[in-house]
Amino acid sequence: MIRRFFRYYRPYTKLFVLDFSCAVLAALLELCFPLAVNHIVDRLLPGKDWGLIVWACAALLALYLVSTGLNYIVTYWGHKLGINIEFDMRRRLFGHIQKLSFRFFDNNKTGHLMSRMTNDLFEIGEMAHHGPEDVFIAVMTLIGAFAMMLTINWKLACLTFLVVPLLIWLVVACNMKMVHASKRMFSEIADVNARVEDSVSGIRVVQTFSNEKHEMDKFMVSNRSFRQAKLQSYRIIAFGSSGMYMLMRLISLFVLICGAWFVVHGQLSYGQFVGFLLLINIFFKPIEKINAFLENYPKGMAGFKRFTEIIDTEPDVADAPDAVEVRSLRGEIRFEKVTFGYEDHAKVLKEVDLAIHAGETVAFVGPSGAGKTTLCSLIPRFYEIDGGKHQDRRHRHPADEARLAPLADRHCAAGRVPVLRIAAGQHRLRQAWSDG
């Protein structure tokens, strides 16, 4: 799954290298500040050379300016990388949905598809930017800070590192709970979107029959479920964040007490003590980055899994390898013992025989659910029949031997929709008329 995700970085390799390189350089410059303070306190202050101290501070200012520029690149261009990946995924997802068969839309609510096109991909874009970069820099900074702490005083460094396993345990435990909470949250917001879409699309019927209260009751069920799912996820985040804060403050206090003891016993200089305290703050930053990544990672991966579920869905109706190009439609339509049924439903059509000659006008009349719309949907192969034969003699080939796009392009239908798009309807009528 992760390898599949990284394929979307390929078109933006240069942008990724730029963002990644600047982030690494910014992290390295961050490590220089405690060493510079250590040098100033232990070497320059005792010498009382004010000019040299000013030049050292000016050099630090220059490093800060460079670091500011690098952070700008990481923030803007790094997010641009994530946005580009999100853009490509959304384009691919929309294009793929356009190719799916009617049966897919019969089984999936519009609101759920909208949620996957918007909320899920937003979380994926955030993970695409912060994921690889934050993990690598966090590990690099963690190792670098610990190595510098060892060079200052290895005993104090080892004592400090003893608390790290507690932090790791807290992060991993919260991450495991966040995976399940994120999945539930995505599912619940999809239900909310589906409920809104159903209600708004049928608002004329709702208001005609004064059904607003019933729609509100149904909406509140979904809305309350989403509220509970979101509260649960933030409860986990709050527990992890407050636990991390407490552990880091305890480490700072522990270092302050132990460091003071080493200073009193002459095993640590004042400059080393100050530098070590500054390194502790740098040591915490990668842990905070990893914690933030582990908050975003479950959301991003849950969204990516939902994205791949649709991308991996193949159309039920597809062109045969030897499909024929339809160039003209003149002749008759014939159904021979055609049988068809929707999923988990009884057969709508059973061994139907039908012949429509060229130039004939035919009306299908019957109660709702009799199969009128289904019969019309089978002519351009919006569904595959379960049995029998659909012979479209206008091009002297069975319908399943013709390519889908030209076949559907030469049919015109005005469905039962709340709003008929006039311009599109006129275009289709003219096209069908010109094709005969």
Which residues have a Cβ under 8 Å from the Cβ of 191 and sit 6 or more positions away? 111, 112, 222, 225, 226
The span from the CA of 187 to the CA of 68, in Å, is 40
The span from the CA of 366 to the CA of 218, in Å, is 32
Which residues have a Cβ under 8 Å from the Cβ of 362 and sit 6 or more positions away? 356
pTM above 0.75, yes or no: no
pLDDT tens across the length of the chain (436 residues): 778 888 888 888 898 889 888 888 888 888 888 777 777 777 777 777 788 888 888 888 888 899 899 989 988 888 888 889 889 988 988 888 888 877 787 777 777 788 788 878 887 887 887 777 777 887 888 888 888 888 888 888 888 877 777 777 777 777 777 777 877 887 788 788 888 877 877 777 777 777 888 888 888 888 898 888 888 888 887 887 788 788 778 888 888 888 888 888 888 888 888 888 888 877 777 777 777 777 777 778 878 888 888 888 887 766 655 555 666 665 577 778 888 777 666 677 777 888 877 778 888 887 777 777 777 777 777 777 777 766 554 444 555 555 555 555 555 555 554 444 444 445 545 555 555 5
The span from the CA of 412 to the CA of 426, in Å, is 10
Q: What is 369-380 written as a DSSP string?
A: TSSHHHHHHHTT
Residue 387, helix vs strand vs coil: strand
Tell me what percent of the chain is helix, strand and coil, each rounded to the nearest 5. 75, 5, 20
Task: Of 8, 66, 5, give the one whose Cα is nearest residue 32.
Answer: 66
What amino acid is encoded at 350 in this protein?
K
Beta pairing partners, 390: 335
**Burial class of residue 149, CB neighbours in 10 A (0-12, 13-18, 19+):** buried
Q: Are 125 and 86 in contact (CB under 8 A)?
A: yes
Q: What is the C-alpha R_g of the chain? A: 33
The two structure tokens encoding residue 290:
């990893």
Residue 357: what are its φ and ψ, rounded to 5°? -85, 160
Which pairs with CB-CB distance under 8 Å and at least 24 residues apart come from 281-285? 282/30, 282/31, 282/34, 282/141, 282/145, 283/142, 283/145, 283/146, 283/149, 283/160, 284/248, 284/251, 285/30, 285/138, 285/141
- String of b and e for 24-56 (b: at least 16 CB within 10 Å)? bbbbeebbebbbbbbebbbebeeeeeeeeeeeb
